[in-house]
Amino acid sequence: MKKILVTGGTVFLSRYIAEYYVSKGDSVYVLNRNTRLQSRGVKLIEVNRHHLQEKLKNMSFDVVIDVVAYNENDINDLLDGLGNFKQYIMISSSAVYPEYGSQPFKENSVLAKNKFWGKYGTDKIAAEKTLMQRVSDAYILRPPYLYGPMNNVYREAFVFDCAIDDRPFYLPKDGSMKLQFFHVKDLCRVIDFLIENKPVQHIFNVGNKEAITIKEWVEACYGVLNKKPKFINVYDNINQRKYFSFYDYEYYLDVTNQDTLISSTLSLEDGLKESYEWYIKNMDEVNKKPFIEFIDNNMSNKTNEL
């Protein structure tokens, strides 16, 4: 049994990670301000990471899994307040790679501002740099779009809503834009390997090996409900973030080095089934955006039907 500290622990990835390690029998502490419902089996440390004072100084952890480090202050304040720990794992983001870089992005690709992600990406870069300066043997994981149970971001849940109501799906252009996904369970499997094996490499891109077109992704989401979408292709100059879950930005990561950690990943079909099973029981936990309202109010007679 390991003693694990998870920052956050109440929303999507941090919550999933906390519950994953509770289910494995580990002693899981979550660090948050206690403004949301806590997961069963975790041990709450109720504090703001920026005002830790002596809260953690007399505690020790086998592993710190930092899910909610968004900038260098987040890293510095947590490290300044921590007592003893053996291993530090930070969940970063593929947003650290600039949109103009050569793809697929490799771990040693240039890091710079991405015009789609802006400050979020540059802050993650600063957080990574600060962590490696202070904890040279820390691990950093850079995932693409994460999905799975507990996802409170309106991505697959939006498509599920359209499928539930038998709505046609408004698809940006011809739907050929590709995206890369990674199931939260697979991310936990990668973390398992880092904890148990401590590989020499310390920064990893993680994700499914194959990118998928947004049309295929929507079809897969509808397929969970045994339905097929009727597409309406949107070619007009409408900001797709008004009616679709993703930026008009195609990217993918080179995850070759991930093969040394896990040999396979969950199929998109099985992963989306898990997402849907969770969603139909927890719809109120998703931060829904007004995509459907925008479509109904603004997009009639401005599309081509397929």
CATH number of the domain where residue 273 is located: 3.40.50.720
What is the per-residue pLDDT for 301?
56
Tokens linked to 274: 């898990």
pLDDT of the chain, 306 residues: tens digit per residue: 999 999 999 999 999 999 999 999 999 999 999 999 999 999 999 999 999 999 999 999 999 999 999 999 999 999 999 999 999 999 999 999 999 999 999 999 999 999 999 999 999 999 999 999 999 999 999 999 999 999 999 999 999 999 999 999 999 999 999 999 999 999 999 999 999 999 999 999 999 999 999 999 999 999 999 999 999 999 988 999 999 999 999 999 999 999 999 999 999 999 999 999 999 999 999 999 999 999 999 986 554 544
Tokens linked to 135: 């904890």
Q: Is 67 inside any structural domain?
A: no
Residue 293 sits in which domain range?
Answer: 92-305
Q: Is 287 inside any structural domain?
A: yes
Q: Is 51 inside any structural domain?
A: no
Angle (nearest 5°) at CA 247 between 242 and 253: 160
Q: Is 298 inside any structural domain?
A: yes
Rg (CA), the chain: 20
What is the per-residue pLDDT for 201?
98
Q: From 111, 91, 89, 92, select the one nearest 100 (Cα to Cα).
A: 111
What is the per-residue pLDDT for 192?
98
What is the per-residue pLDDT for 105?
98
Count of domains observed in the chain: 1
Q: Is 155 inside any structural domain?
A: yes
Distances (CA, A) of 226 to 124, 163, 220: 39, 9, 9
Q: Is 191 inside any structural domain?
A: yes
Cβ(160)–Cβ(167) under 8 Å?
Answer: no
What is the per-residue pLDDT for 306?
45
Residue 153 CB-density burial (10 A; 0-12 exposed, 13-18 middle, 19+ buried): middle
Q: Is 36 inside any structural domain?
A: no
Q: Is 178 inside any structural domain?
A: yes
